[in-house]
Structure formats: C-alpha cells, structure tokens
Amino acid sequence: SQTIHQWPATLVQPVGSPLSLECTVEGTSNPNLYWYRQAAGRGLQLLFYSVGIGQISSEVPQNLSASRPQDRQFILSSKKLLLSDSGFYLCAWSVNGGGSYEQYFGPGTRLTVT
C-alpha cells in the first residue's frame, strides 16, 4: 500500500531564517507530487506541482521554491522566511495523468514564523 510522509510535524522559525520541508511517498512510482499551503480557516492554495524528477511548476509567485531530487521525494524550501509564510503545509501525491484528481495527502507541517 502507498504511504506519504511529511516532516517535521510542527516548526517554529524566526523571520529571515531558511526553511526545508520534506515529503516522501512509498509504494508507488512516478507519482504527481504537490505542495499546498493552508492559512487558518481557509481553503487549500496550490504552491507547486511536479510530474517527474526535476520538473517543477509554480502556481504562486513567492519566496518559496520546490525541488524533486528523486522520484518519490519532494522538498519545499525558502532562503528567508516571511511572517506571511506561516500556515499549514500539505504534501500530496496522485497517479500521473488521466484528468483524475484523486490525491492522497500527508499529515502536514504546521509552520509558525515569528
């Protein structure tokens, strides 16, 4: 069966510090991978998606970046965090292609920028 891992579960970082969140998927190959952010009481905002190693598409201009160094690894990074980067970060995967958006989400990382 497939599983998705995210870490850390919670993170408190000062403004201006770097960020690295990691997501890994097990039990499937060549998945689509996604990073979302959710502000308190709001819906999901798609940040990045990837259809393959090294292929990253950005949905929202910001100080965040994503990388996919391996087939089942997706990393979200920032060189300098802003207060507005606080939120609940979710990684997800789906089967590649077909117009089907059945996604499977990780447990999330709660980021607080102080």
91 within 8 A of 105, measured Cβ to Cβ = yes
CB of 54 vs other proteins, minimal distance in Å: 16
CB-wise, 1 or 102, nearer to other proteins? 102
CB-wise, 17 or 55, nearer to other proteins? 55
Q: Which residues bind other proteins (CB under 8 A)?
A: 32, 34, 42-46, 49, 51, 57, 59, 88, 90, 92, 99-108, 110
Q: HSE of 43 in the Cβ direction (CA atoms, 13 Å)?
A: 2
CB-wise, 83 or 102, nearer to other proteins? 102
26 within 8 A of 72, measured Cβ to Cβ = yes
